[in-house]
A and B are shown apart, each in its own frame.
Chain A
Amino acid sequence: MAGLELLSDQGYRVDGRKAGELRKIQARMGVFAQADGSAYIEQGNTKALAVVYGPHEIRGSRSKTLHDRAVVNCQYSMATFSTGERKRRPHGDRKSTEMTLHLKQTFEAAILTQLYPRSQIDIYVQILQADGGNYCTCVNAATLAIIDAGIPMRDYVCACSAGFIEDTPLADLSYVEEAAGGPQLALALLPKSDQIALLEMNSRLHEDHLERVMDAATKACKDVYAVLDQAVKEHLQEVSAMLGDRGMA
């Protein structure tokens, strides 16, 4: 009868968060020894794995070679078990192609590609479990993986979604909130300079509300930044502790 109440009169969302609060983020870097860089991240129940190879020589067709900078090659996919309903997802379905393109755009903007002319950087991201904000989680995972690989970037790329319900901007939408069909926006931000790497919006939102939703998304991205930065620092400490141990031995 009555649909789901996404935001209660008391200001709580379905999962108990308040409008501006993020889901719990957990991140680990260097999860794959074989790759040049890798990271695993959980944002609530959305889980993503990112693997980075490169920079290395151009593989396959040489014609892709760029003489002033590196080629960023991205691949986005979803594990068959990532959603409640199992679906075979061949590479290159429309949604994946679109996501792949978005990721490529995002990281071409953030990586200092001009440092590696005539080479290639591969970023593979897979969603292991999908519960809203897939694109954003992928971006955050890829950022950590790139840092893990030691590839220089202008800044972290932090991404977070935002929606607009009952005249209130909501940060970091869960699947339930996305499925309600209201306006939603995905923002990938370079937090230090406030530069936007990518901005995508679904369904209509009047321009007068845009500013408020953007503010909420920006704030959320900066919160994500704080968590990612913490993860990187912890990882560094672990690694240097390990190196230190080895040095002692």
Chain B
Amino acid sequence: MLKSKTFMKKTRSGGVLKIVREHYLRDDITCGCEGCEECSQENPVLQLETVLQSSLCTSPHYLLPDTNVLLHQVDILEDPIIQNVIVLQTVLQEVRSRSAPVYKRIRDIINNSEKYFYTFTNEHHRDTYIEQERGETANDRNDRAIRTAAKWYNNHIKKSKNMAHLQVLLITNDRKNMEKALEEGIVAYTCEEYIKSLVANPELVDRLAAVFDEKNEIESGKLIFSEHVPLSKLQQGIKSSIYVQGTFRASRDNYLEATVWVHGDDTEHKEIIIQGLRNLNRAMHEDVVAVELLVKENWVAPSSVVLQDDEESDDIESTEEKEKILKTGVQANAKPSGKIVGIIKRNWRPYCGMLARSQIKESTRHLFTPADRRIPRIRIETRQASTLEGQRIIVAIDGWPKNSRYPNGHFVKNLGTAGDKETETEVLLLEHDVPHQPFSQAVLSFLPKMPWSITPQDMKHRINLRHLYVCSVDPPGCTDIDDALHCRELENGNLEVGVHIADVSHFIRPGTALDQESANRGTTVYLCEKRIDMVPELLSSNLCSLRSEVDRLAFSCIWEINQDAQIINTKFTKSVINSKASLTYAEAQMRIDSPTMNDEITKSLRLLNKLAKILKRRRIDNGALTLSSPEVRFHLDSETHDPIDLQTKELKETNSMVEEFMLLANISVAQKIYDEFPEYALLRKHPAPPPANYDILVKAAKSKDLEIKTDSAKALADSLDKAESLAFPYLNTLLRILATRCMMQAVYFCSGLDNDFHHYGLASPIYTHFTSPIRRYADVIVHRLLAVAVGADTTYPDLMDKHKAAEICKNINFRHKMAQYSQRSSVAFHTQLFFKTKGILNEEGYILFVRKNAIVVLIPKFGLEGTVFFEEKDKVKPNLVYNDEIPSLKVENSTFYMFDKVKVRITLDASNLQHQKIRMALVEPEIPGITPLTKSDQSNSKGEPALKKSKLDK
């Protein structure tokens, strides 16, 4: 094999260092064509019979796109219709170095066997490798390499008789490259030309990215923005402190204002204000930018004006008018201000939103309004404006030339009618950056082949626990069962308790596409009526799910515990279990409570329940907090999935039983992996909140003559227990809700990079997540660590790298936060649907917070929280007096204290289709001019559609 090769050497010189690298050119790289008689290949990718029909090229053909086509038109390439494409190594490597997300998408396409994309390793091929010539730029050289490969393909194809009719088309948008290609006799088209020529696929055209020629741009129209400083100069400027680097944060309420959060700790100014369209200079939310500070005289104060971009024209004069309004801020409050001189890194993503149709009827250029108010409107070209009106669509940005008021983009996808349940779910997932696409072929290829069974190889480091009376207890309808339990009496009078967790890390091997995808997803996201899995369904609902009556692989944590719930010893082992029953909380409770049942499972449950009570008592004595937040569950109509009723979640004893053992397992595992890998353990901590966080809680309790102590978790827990009022039983719940709001977020971290491990809420010195690997990636890592610790599995370099661990933590912390936000949005959306059908309701609630011009009201019945504003646009402002010491707000003659009972009117405000919201207005106590008038008077109700609907219903 060594001898059959032809060698050539390539020398790369750069700088002072002379680097000599070898490069072996091969003659055994195949073309990937099905009909080839020249190359002997096992699995040709490119089909002999192609389906694409183009009016430009009537014979069957393969596409050979250049780098820019891949980078910018990946939306098109992903379309199932585009097949039989040759991806050159040159192109793939350029894409890899220029955009990681696009590279990933291209790889997914290549791995999808239904797309027939073939990677041709042209840089190692004897006939297609070319040297960079003197005076030739790297870009020009790569373009030439692409042309060389295209030529090679066309010649190569001719050599096989049955492929003589085939053609390879070079797709490039680069004019120079195109001219040269045509000169050299290569058939080449621009992406646009080709896509437009496709027979029977006109809708693809809209998804073309708007690519413009930099050179032509200057001639058309006047410049609005100043040129961006190139990256190399920016870096110099940052080094020499002419510019500062920071993250751009657009304002939600004012499109002409933004702040830049300066990177680094030792900078003088943490926050720089950017005001005015020209200073904002095309920066967008989340971009990493370079800022130049203005001279002090030009510093401005942040304005409190709300400004929405609603211009129809490209004219920027009217914008300049608006900018004057901003200058009204008090000059004394002026803060460091600056202007954007360049973009270091764009953070563009596809945006959801709606089309605002151009007023010119025939126009194909329209403005798109993103759902996220921090993103400017985007100009797109489409001929289907009439169909897209009223729909939620996705648009991707292609660029923002300096003569354009808005960025240019292209239409990517129609999500469906705005307000539809499916559409809105899609929108909230996209807006919270929740990866929810179907799993790619590459990911699915790592799933076990069905029918699956346990092999002797699987049993190598595993013990057989099939004989144990293991059962699982979960909410009704749960299909991804992570955990199961057992308990039995030992001969010495002690008890053996086992927590068995799905052995997900057995199926998800490190570094595979499946692993990367789950690591990126980080968590399963539960919405009101939908679940977005972290791992493919075959695993989540079948092979990993610890269902009853089937053999399943598990990771078991087994304790010997005495009757006082003291742990005698702990053992961790991989195992095989066969669960005897999958119970709901209610079913398990019923078994425990019914004296006639005495089977093994029930006995086991009773023992567990007894131990759990002792464990819980002990935990609470140690200062663990039991807080509450009103959790709501929708009863969905089984047909339409519309919410028909709301119910606050009810907790049974068995909920707490399962929870206790999960906590115990998590703590035991945390200790074990930390002992074994003090530097690399993935743990979870919950920092104690700074004392100031509790101010509001203490003040609120004081106003009701109750004392809340906050010097320790235990003091807080005890004082919350004592804070009862006979006349007002709900007060305690309200206090606990408030206490929850004072807490910090719990986070994952790597033990080697932190020294504070304490979990405040659970009052545990160490904690981690081990018990839900099907739906949390943190648990998968913890499983791997534990498996290595007990010798059941192998390690890999990234597992023993604390910086890699820190990266994982950062991502899963972000994903968890986003999962929570999407869950809240989902609840909010379903609440809106619920109130849409209910019409106007008057409900009782409690004041949760008092603000300077509003009160926040909680309606326990719906778990719904809303704000009652006392200042409204275009209305006379009432007399408001706010007291910070005893949190209260005096409105005209009525004073509102925290926890006061009020009655509010709830309506749905659908005036803005993209941003519907629930509105609350005060009904009781009555305040003249504030409380809404009788129902028939609609003067101040903005929720007109809801109002009309309710009348129709009755």
Contact = CB atoms under 8 A, between A and B. Distances in A.
Do A and B originate from a single complex? yes
Interface of A: 1-2, 5, 8-10, 12, 14-17, 21-24, 44-45, 84-85, 131, 166-167, 174, 176, 182-183, 203-204, 206-209, 223, 227
A5 B325 CA distance: 53
Contacts of B797: 182-183, 203-204
A151 to B, nearest CB: 28
Interface in B781-797: 794-797
Interface string B249-274: 00000000000000000000000000
Q: Taking chain A's interface residues, is the majority helix, strand, or loop, or is none over half, making it mixed? A: loop
7 contacts: A12-B124, A16-B23, A23-B22, A24-B24, A44-B22, A183-B797, A203-B797
Q: Chain B interface mostly helix, strand, loop or mixed? A: mixed
Contacts of A209: 794
Given A10-B121, A182-B797, A1 B20 contact: no
Nearest to B509: A167
A21 B1 contact: yes
Contact of B795 (A182, A206, A227): A206
Given A16-B24, A84-B18, A8 B2 contact: no
B53 interface: no
Contact of A16 (B1, B103, B124): B124
Task: Please list the 9 inter-chain residue pairs (A to B) with the smallest Cβ-Cβ separation, ordered nearest first.
Answer: A16-B124, A16-B24, A206-B794, A208-B794, A84-B17, A15-B22, A44-B22, A206-B795, A10-B121
A85 B17 contact: yes
Interface stretch (B92-100, B197-205, B920-928): B92-100
B411 to A, nearest CB: 29
B425 to A, nearest CB: 34
B2 A1 contact: no
Interface in B356-401: none
A219 to B, nearest CB: 11
Contacts of B23: 15-16
B825 interface: no
B100 A2 contact: yes
B7 interface: yes
B108 to A, nearest CB: 11
Contacts of B25: 16
Contacts, number: 71
Contacts of B794: 206-209
Interface of B: 1-2, 7, 17-26, 89, 93, 96-98, 100, 103, 107, 110, 119, 121, 123-124, 511, 794-797, 800
Nearest to A208: B794
B2 A223 contact: yes
Contacts of B1: 21
A10 B119 contact: yes
B511 A5 contact: no
A165 to B, nearest CB: 10
Given A23-B24, A24-B22, A174-B21, 17 more contacts: A1-B97, A5-B93, A5-B96, A9-B110, A10-B121, A12-B121, A15-B22, A21-B2, A23-B22, A45-B21, A84-B17, A85-B17, A182-B797, A203-B797, A204-B800, A206-B795, A209-B794
A41 B550 CA distance: 62
A9 B22 contact: no
Nearest to A44: B22
Nearest to A203: B797
Nearest to B118: A10
Given A84-B17, A182-B797, A9 B119 contact: yes
Contact of A84 (B19, B24, B93, B103): B19
A15 B24 contact: yes
A209 B18 CA distance: 36
B105 to A, nearest CB: 14
Nearest to A84: B17
A176 B89 CA distance: 19
Contacts of B20: 45, 131
Contacts of A1: 97-98, 100
A176 B20 CA distance: 11
Most B-side CB within 10 Å, residue of A22, A44, A223:
A44
Contacts of A208: 794
A17 B28 CA distance: 11
Contacts of A85: 17
A203 B20 CA distance: 26
A10 B118 CA distance: 10
Question: Chain A CB within 10 Å — which of B18, B19, B24, B110 has the most?
Answer: B24
B17 A17 contact: no
Contacts of B795: 204, 206
B185 to A, nearest CB: 28
Contacts of B796: 206
A36 to B, nearest CB: 31
